[in-house]
Each structure stands twice: as structure tokens, then as C-alpha cells.
Chains A and B, each alone.
Chain A
Amino acid sequence: MGPAMGKTLAEKVWDAHVVRRGKGAEPDLLYIDLHLVHEVTSPQAFDGLRLAGRKVRRPDLTIATEDHNVPTIGIELPIADPVSRTQVETLRKNCAEFGIRLHPMGDDEQGIVHVMGPQLGLTQPGMTVVCGDSHTSTHGAFGAMAFGIGTSEVEHVLATQTLPLRRFKTMAINVSGKLRPGVTAKDIILAIIAKIGTGGGQGYVLEYRGEAIEALSMEARMTICNMSIEAGARAGMIAPDETTFAYLKGRPHAPQGAEWDKAVAAWRQLRSDDDAVFDAEVDLNADELTPYVTWGTNPGQGLPLSERVPDPADFADETERLAAEKALAYMDLKPGTPLRDIKVDTVFLGSCTNGRLEDLRAAAEVLAGRKVADGVRMLVVPGSMRVRKAAEEEGLDKVFKEAGAEWRAAGCSMCLGMNPDQLKPGERSASTSNRNFEGRQGKGGRTHLVSPLVAAATAVRGTLSSPEDL
């Protein structure tokens, strides 16, 4: 054997969780430290357990909330849609039967599952975190290995607290330089996805590194890791540092006293070794970044706001050209139109990507003393009831309401329109969420993905805008 090679952060976390090394083509069996559950992807998994007469192995490593279906107004009333109501009630029954902690609608801790976990301090460096939701990648911001799973895997984790998985490849995303004012984490990740494409990260864990990443707050880091899946990656990670430790200290489930010191000492080891070799590397310079928006129907179809709608004829690749043609037809956009001239009907501020306190603060700062443009509806949906409460303590709700925006309760809301918050056919939104897929926010709806700053400026002008346009 030669000298031991350095390990990447992802490899360190992986190796620390191998229950059983796979032989030959067999996958490794990985231990799962935290399993987050919500109402949409779990009912069939619980049914599977019942059918097989199995129990939840570790209810104490499992936590549930209601987020996808919940309405964001009138939450004190029963859910009006009977199918949504049944799904939420099914989760309540399942959690009661299997002994799982649940934060239901109306609870102080309820919220989008990926906002709830971190704010409780349950997401910690070096952990493996899974959920039946692709945006589980959010939790990688803490140096955890966190990834979305399907319902069969949800059942597998409930029954065994493990998952058979083949090792991921590793990709370093080096973001050098400093972000200019008005440019945010959302713009970094939209630029990365535009650069590597929706399949660019396939099979990889992305590790975001470099000066621009280290300078980000935990909430901004979560925005970046959240959208790793939009580049096709299962997970995104950022090495924990003082920013991470400061965020965690004192949270309800963070270690305390001597355990805290022990934990921090272990967490400090969680960084890629200097001699670690990544399977791929991508470089991006934050100095040159400006606000990004998407023009098409996948998150890789994005451009700086200062650009124009592209001409499909300019795409050399046949598949990309065809995709651009279909996207422009769906989005009802003409090549050459300045992106700043695109008018919207709706602005959505929220989601597991950009529904945290800092996102609300940034948008409120732009909206203070201004009004949402005539004919534009703006929805502000905090990521969790805690975020909502904290925002109200700072008076942000008043800023939004005075500007003419709607101040709502917590949930996934218009990010995917499983509750009543939807676009109507042909309506166009500027949305701080993560997916601009056809019909994602409502059948026939058209979505432009933007940062909270661009969302707020767009609400004021009625066309895609950044704060410097005001």
C-alpha cells in the first residue's frame, strides 16, 4: 500500500457511517442519523411497515411536520381540500401509531421540513440526513451529508435506520472572490446551475468552497446547498466553520456543556484534506456575478438579469436548442426581449430555498416605503412559524403589509402549489423558489426563479428588476 491519500469532506462523512461495506457490486450500508418526514411521501411507507408487521427502528432519530399541503391562510380552520386534509390526518395517525414526534399545523415549530430541522439544531455537522424530499440537500450547509429519497427508501429508513447506497463521486465547486452588494447566494447557485447544467452534478456530491462561500451566513449557505439537486447532484456540502458553530450554539438540540466541546472538536476535523482529490472541479468567480434570473423551464436555463431572452438558433447543441424552443413557447417569450422588460403577475417570496429570516429582511429592506405595483400580487410565506414570529418581532410583517403584500403562515405554498396558493394558467411569477418546471406553481403557470432582492424589486416595478433599478 502507498501513502494514505487525503479524503474529501464527503468521503469522511460517508466513511464514518458505513455499517457494512458492500462486497463487489453491492452497495455500502449507511447509517442515517436524522430522518425528516412530511405528509406527502410517507403514507405509503407507513402502510408498507404495517403490511410487513415492522416497527420504526429509531423514532428518536425521526421527526415529522406538515408542510406541502398546508394552507397559509385560515390555518385555525380544518383544511378545505378533503384530499389534502386526509393526507395530513394520515400523517398524524401514523406518527401517533409509530411514536414519532410531529409538529402539526398551528404548532410553534411547524414549517417547511428543511427550515424546521436546522432551526431546532437537529442538523449538525458530519451527520447523515435524509427525507422523502429532494431539497434535503439544504442540510449540507452544516457539513452534513443530506439527500432526498423516494418512498421505498423512506420505508427502508423507518424500518432499519440505514440505506444501501453506492458511493457518490465528489465535485469541488470553487467560488473565489467577493459578492458585490445586491448579489446573493441565490445568484451564485443559479449561475452554477446555468454553468454545469441540470445533469452536470449527476452522481456527485458537490462541495462548495472558497472565499465567497466562507463569507456566507448559514442561511445563505442553505440556499446554495438547497439547489444542488437542481444541478442533478444528490447532495451539496459546505465544510463547517466558526459561522456554523455560532449558528448552532444554544439551539434546542445542539450539544451542551462538555458535549458541546467534544462535538466542536470533532466537527473541526470535517474538511477536505489538502491532498484530497476530487473527481471533478468547477470554478466560479463571485466578483463578476450579477443578479441571475431564469428564462426557461428548467433551472439551468438562467442568465444575468441584464441579458436578453436567448435565441434557440444560437444553441449549438441540438438537444439544448430543442429544449430552448419548447421552453420559450411555454413561457411565451420572444428571443431578444430584454429580461428586464418581462412583466409578472405574481411575486412569491418563500420556500425552503429562500424562506428564512434573512431572506425576508432583505426583501423588506427593498420594500420599505415602497408599494407593490398595481396589478401585481405579492405573497410572503415564511419558511416556518418561528421565522414568521421572528419577522413579526422585527416589524417585517408591517413593512410587507404596508407595501401591499400578503403576509401568510408557514409552508411550501406556491413553490409547488399543493395548497391553494397557485398560479392560474398563463400567469407569470417571479419566485424565490427552486423550480421553474412547466406547471410547477399551477397548471399553465410560468415561473422565473430569482433572489429575494430581485423578487422585492420586481414587485415594485412589475417587471423583472433588481434593487438598483429602483
Chain B
Amino acid sequence: MEPFSKHTGVGVPLRRSNVDTDQIIPAVYLKRVTRTGFEDGLFAAWRSDETFVLNQEPFRNGSVLVAGPDFGTGSSREHAVWALMDYGFRVVISSRFADIFRGNAGKQGLLTAQCEQADVEQLWKLLENEPGTDVTVDLNEKTVQCKDFLTTFDIDDYTRWRLLEGLDDIALTLRHSDTIAEFEASRPSYMPVTTPR
């Protein structure tokens, strides 16, 4: 995973709540067995509408998505994170994220910055008044800046540390292989195994 400390890029206002992962990437795009090239599936249904925000010129190259509450609800598909990142997004700002989406984002290096809804509204106004405006997100300071507007965001300390360091979860866990083996030895004997009886 690429370390993340600070990012500046064009902010994209997405005035929608409950942006579920089926909207972020419809199921037909999940049939691939590769890990790259999911950008064509991002918001596929909405992108066929020419008034959709990502079809507007200055927003086309956006990298900071500012969305309504309950972003990433529904299916656990990590493809939603891949699609956002493959398209070029590095940050999503929302007042509330679905748990699984947020976890997936943290594993891949997509920063989910949780702000107050009032801050999201303020960002929407700024980005709509002057399309193409940059947003700067600083993970060290936990701040979001857009023109003169500066606010803070929430992220749990552990995910923040992993993002800053760009650390791979599996390697971290494998440091505790002996502890896992000890735990395994203490599991009750009646617990099932999947091998056929």
C-alpha cells in the first residue's frame, strides 16, 4: 500500500445520500478476476447521464469526492474502493460511512475523511460556486482545506497510522503467528471442520 500523508486535488461535489456500493460499481463489473481497470465501472449508471457531476469538465479529473451521508452502504464489494482509486480518487469526504466500505478503503489507501454534515454542505457550496477548486486533505493534521475554509475530520488512530506508514495488514498479523497457533490449540474439540466426514 502507498503511504498517504497529504493530498491536494480537484474536489467533486456529489449531492446524494446513501450512495450504495451498487451505485459506485454495478454488479456486472464484478465478474473480472483482475485487480485493476475498474474505473469504467465507477458510477456506471449515473455516468450515462451527461448532467452527472463527473461528466462536467473541471470535475472529470477530480480526486477528492465530497458526498452525502451514508456513503458506501450495502454490498461488501471492495471493487467499490478499487473503482474509485482506479478512476483517480484518493479521498472521500462524508459525514457518515458504511463500516465495511470504510474498512476496505483503509486497506487500500483510500482515505475516508469523516466531517460534520455542515462542513460537507460548506464544501459543496465552494466547489459548486467555483468548479475545479482544489481541496487539500492532510492526514497528519487531520484537516480539510478548501480556499479559506479549514476544518478537521475524524479517522481512527490505527487506520491513520497504517495509512501514514503504508503498512500491509497481513504482514503485521503474521508477526503474531505463534500467538495464533497457541489460540488454535485451545479451541473446543466440538467445533466443526469443513473437510467431509
Known: A152-B104, A199-B73. A83 touches B99 (CB 8 A): no
Question: Shortest CB–CB separation between residue B94 and chain A, in angstroms?
Answer: 11
Known: A162-B173, A439-B26. A198 touches B100 (CB 8 A): no
Residue of B nearest to A317 (CB): B17
- In the A-B complex, list the 9 residue pairs whose CB atoms are closest, starting with the nearest: A25-B157, A150-B104, A152-B107, A150-B78, A43-B33, A148-B76, A263-B190, A151-B78, A255-B190
- Interface assignment of A31: CB less than 8 Å from any CB of chain B: yes
Residues on the B chain within 8 Å of A151, using CB: 78-79, 104
Interface residues on B, range: 35 or more
Residue of A nearest to B15 (CB): A322
Q: Are B76 and A132 in contact (CB under 8 A)?
A: yes
Residues of chain B from 165 to 197 with CB closer than 8 A to chain A in the complex: 169-170, 172-174, 176-177, 179-180, 183-184, 187-197
Q: Are B75 and A134 in contact (CB under 8 A)?
A: yes
Known: A62-B194, A199-B69, A259-B190. A149 touches B32 (CB 8 A): no
Known: A149-B100, A260-B190, A319-B17. 8 other contacts (CB 8 A): A19-B183, A31-B183, A40-B30, A87-B32, A101-B196, A152-B169, A262-B189, A417-B28
**In the bound complex, CA of A124 to CA of B192 (Å):** 8
- A-B pair count, CB < 8 Å, reads 212
Question: Shortest CB–CB separation between residue A166 and chain B, in angstroms?
Answer: 7
- Interface assignment of A458: CB less than 8 Å from any CB of chain B: no
Question: Shortest CB–CB separation between residue B128 and chain A, in angstroms?
Answer: 15
- Interface assignment of B142: CB less than 8 Å from any CB of chain A: no
Known: A152-B169, A253-B192. A298 touches B26 (CB 8 A): no
Q: Which of A26, A150, A262, A444 has a CB less than 8 Å from the CB of B100? A: A150
Residues of chain A from 426 to 463 with CB closer than 8 A to chain B in the complex: 435, 437-440, 443-444
Residues on the A chain within 8 Å of B172, using CB: 164
Question: Shortest CB–CB separation between residue B140 and chain A, in angstroms?
Answer: 16
Known: A25-B158, A27-B158, A439-B22. A164 touches B169 (CB 8 A): yes
Residues on the B chain within 8 Å of A437, using CB: 20, 22-23, 74
- Interface assignment of B51: CB less than 8 Å from any CB of chain A: no
Residues on the A chain within 8 Å of B26, using CB: 439, 443
Question: Shortest CB–CB separation between residue A467 and chain B, in angstroms?
Answer: 30
Residues on the A chain within 8 Å of B16, using CB: 323, 326
Q: Which of A31, A86, A232 has a CB less than 8 Å from the CB of B73? A: A232
Q: Are B45 and A443 in contact (CB under 8 A)?
A: yes
**In the bound complex, CA of A444 to CA of B48 (Å):** 12
Q: Are B100 and A33 in contact (CB under 8 A)?
A: no
- Interface assignment of A138: CB less than 8 Å from any CB of chain B: no
Question: Shortest CB–CB separation between residue A296 and chain B, in angstroms?
Answer: 10
Residues of chain A from 390 to 405 with CB closer than 8 A to chain B in the complex: none
Q: Which of A44, A61, A68, A254 has a CB less than 8 Å from the CB of B33? A: A44
Chain A positions within 8 Å of B, measured between CB atoms, are 19-20, 22, 24-27, 29, 31, 33-34, 40-41, 43-44, 47, 52, 54, 57, 59-63, 68-69, 81, 83-84, 86-87, 90, 101, 121-122, 124, 127, 132-134, 148-153, 155-156, 159-162, 164, 166, 198-199, 202-203, 229-230, 232, 234, 252-255, 259-260, 262-263, 266, 297-298, 319-320, 322-323, 326, 416-418, 435, 437-440, 443-444
Q: Which of B20, B27, B117, B189 has a CB less than 8 Å from the CB of A298? A: B20
- Interface assignment of B143: CB less than 8 Å from any CB of chain A: no
Q: Are B73 and A61 in contact (CB under 8 A)?
A: no
Q: Are B169 and A134 in contact (CB under 8 A)?
A: no
Among B96, B180, B196, chain A packs the most CB atoms within 10 A around the CB of: B180
Q: Are A44 and B35 in contact (CB under 8 A)?
A: yes
Question: Shortest CB–CB separation between residue A199 and chain B, in angstroms?
Answer: 5
What are 10 A-B residue pairs whose CB atoms fall within 8 Å in the complex?
A: A31-B180, A33-B191, A41-B30, A68-B30, A87-B31, A230-B74, A234-B99, A259-B190, A416-B22, A439-B26
Residue of A nearest to B75 (CB): A134
**In the bound complex, CA of A383 to CA of B26 (Å):** 22
Residues on the A chain within 8 Å of B76, using CB: 41, 132-134, 148-150
Q: Which of A122, A132, A438 has a CB less than 8 Å from the CB of B192? A: A122
Question: Shortest CB–CB separation between residue A30 and chain B, in angstroms?
Answer: 10
Residue of A nearest to B99 (CB): A234
- Interface assignment of B62: CB less than 8 Å from any CB of chain A: no
**In the bound complex, CA of A40 to CA of B68 (Å):** 28
- Interface assignment of B87: CB less than 8 Å from any CB of chain A: no
Residues on the B chain within 8 Å of A149, using CB: 76, 100, 103
Residue of B nearest to A263 (CB): B190
Q: Mark B97-132, 1 if CB is under 8 A from A, else 0.
A: 011100110011000000001000000000000000
Residue of B nearest to A19 (CB): B183
Residues on the B chain within 8 Å of A232, using CB: 70, 73, 98-99
Residue of A nearest to B169 (CB): A156
Q: Are B33 and A152 in contact (CB under 8 A)?
A: no
Q: Are B180 and A162 in contact (CB under 8 A)?
A: yes
Q: Are A253 and B197 in contact (CB under 8 A)?
A: yes
Among B70, B99, B179, chain A packs the most CB atoms within 10 A around the CB of: B99
Q: Which of A61, A198, A199 has a CB less than 8 Å from the CB of B193? A: A61
Residue of A nearest to B18 (CB): A298
Q: Are B98 and A418 in contact (CB under 8 A)?
A: no
- Interface assignment of B81: CB less than 8 Å from any CB of chain A: yes
Q: Are A323 and B18 in contact (CB under 8 A)?
A: yes
